[in-house]
Amino acid sequence: MKTPNKHITSFNWIFALLCFLGMLKTTNVEAQQDAQYTQYMYNTISVNPGYAGSRGHMSVGLLHRSQWVGLDGAPTTQTFNVHSPIGYKGVGLGVSIVNDKIGPTSETNFDVDFSYTVKTSEEGKLSFGLKGSVNLLDIKFSELNQYATDQSLEQNIDNRFSPNVGAGVYYHTEKFYAGLSVPRLLETSHFDESSLSTAKEQMNFYLITGYVWELNHFLKFKPTLLSKIVKGAPLQVDLSANFMLNDKFIVGAAYRWDAALSGMIGFNFSNELMIGMAYDKETTDLGNTSFNDGSFEVVFRYDFIKTKGSLRSPRFF
């Protein structure tokens, strides 16, 4: 295969084509918009509001993802979240900020999460969550390489505001968790309806689950699954397997169905601080190109633990 020149490999021409199709007067574009994570097991609150406060203390998370490194205009994502149980028994609150940039588009989501938890058994807890969010969308059509004149692409979109709501249920014990959620329930339109062109935000349905096996006193094994269903896109299934050695070092691998293979490492510097990293290698034709160096992800989590005496070991989820 010949190496394409930079002008051809630019993500701009791909996005320009998509925008052109989306701006046709009779066309509706439907696609998945939610950001994609390899280390979703450390970023559960982004997809399920029922997770808010489930760690039993205030928890702060930061994540950065660079996808398809080397491809001009490829997606990058940054997330910040903080959540905690509050004074009312069973109530959790959380706040998240997600910034997602693809080519000339930039979206920022501001989320507020509320959860209420009830005990279902001696160990089991079931949480019901609600998410309220606002989305700000920017599209700089002026940055595109345009090869045809289209009036729909002449005016940038700046801070297009759209509200949304979501919901989820989350069940967990000390070793098992499972959740169902829809972070965005409203199918809002991002583009100007006066031009009869729409790009609707479709509902993303999430199923998450995982289990922790204590193989011996020093080694834990945790398989996890995330499945996402959205209209107009293929079923996404992420499978991962992580091992934790001596409650400190984490190593694992993941497979995104028909999309990518991933390697993950992490380290608990203390009961409070965890750092994790992941690398994805595409298994599609895109992964075989010379201008795609894979995807990288790094996550930080800090837990404000007050009563260390009651904490047997760092939580694995």
pLDDT digits (tens, 9 = 90+) for 41-94: 999 999 999 999 999 999 999 999 998 888 888 899 999 999 999 977 899 999
* CA 201/CA 159 separation, integer angstroms: 16
206 is a domain residue: yes
Query: What number of residues does the chain have?
Result: 317
Q: Is 47 exposed, middle or buried (0-12, 13-18, 19+ CB in 10 A)?
A: buried
**What's the pLDDT at 19?**
41
Q: Rounded distance, CA 274 to CA 68, Å? A: 25
Q: What is the pLDDT of residue 85?
A: 94
Q: Of 91, 78, 74, whose CA–CA distance to 46 is shortest?
A: 78
What integer pLDDT is reported at residue 35 of this predicted model? 80
Kindly tell me if the per-residue pLDDT of 31 is higher than 50: no
Read off the pLDDT of each residue in 228-243 and give the average, rounded to a whole number: 91
CA-to-CA distance for 43 and 297, rounded, in angstroms? 12
Q: Torsion angle, CA of 250/78/71/257, rounded to 10 degrees? A: 50
**First and final CA of the chain: distance in angstroms?**
43
Average pLDDT over residues 158-187: 92
Instruction: Answer whether residue 315 is part of any domain.
Output: no
Per-residue pLDDT averaged across 292-311, rounded? Answer: 82
Structural domain contains residue 1: no
The alpha carbon of residue 227 and the mean position of all alpha carbons in its chain are separated, in whole angstroms, by 12
Question: Does residue 110 form part of some domain?
Answer: yes
Q: Tell me 246's DSSP state.
A: T
Count Cβ atoms below 10 Å from residue 196 Cβ, excluding itself. Answer: 13
**Residue 317, in any domain of the structure:** no
pTM for the full predicted model: 0.82
Q: Which residue has the higher pLDDT, 244 or 316?
A: 244
| 31 burial level (CB within 10 Å; 0-12, 13-18, 19+) | middle
Q: Are 125 and 149 in contact (CB under 8 A)?
A: no
pLDDT in the model for residue 193: 41
Q: How many domains does the chain have?
A: 1
**Res 215 pLDDT > 90:** yes
pLDDT band at 25 (very low <50, low <70, confident <90, very high): very low
pLDDT on residue 83: 97
296: domain CATH number is: 2.40.160.40
Per-residue confidence (pLDDT) for residue 151, from 0 to 100: 53
User: Domain limits at 229?
Assistant: 6-310
Task: Let me know if residue 58 belongs to a domain.
Answer: yes
Average pLDDT over residues 179-204: 70
Query: Phi, psi (5° rounding) for residue 218?
Result: -110, -15
Chain-centre distance for alpha carbon 23: 27
- What amino acid occupies position 295? S
Residue at 178 is within a domain: yes
Quote the percentage of the chain above a pLDDT of 90: 56
Q: What is the DSSP letter of 189?
A: B
Q: Answer yes or no: is 49 within a domain.
A: yes
- Residues 114 and 49 sit within 8 Å (Cβ to Cβ): yes
In this predicted structure, what is the pLDDT of residue 196?
37
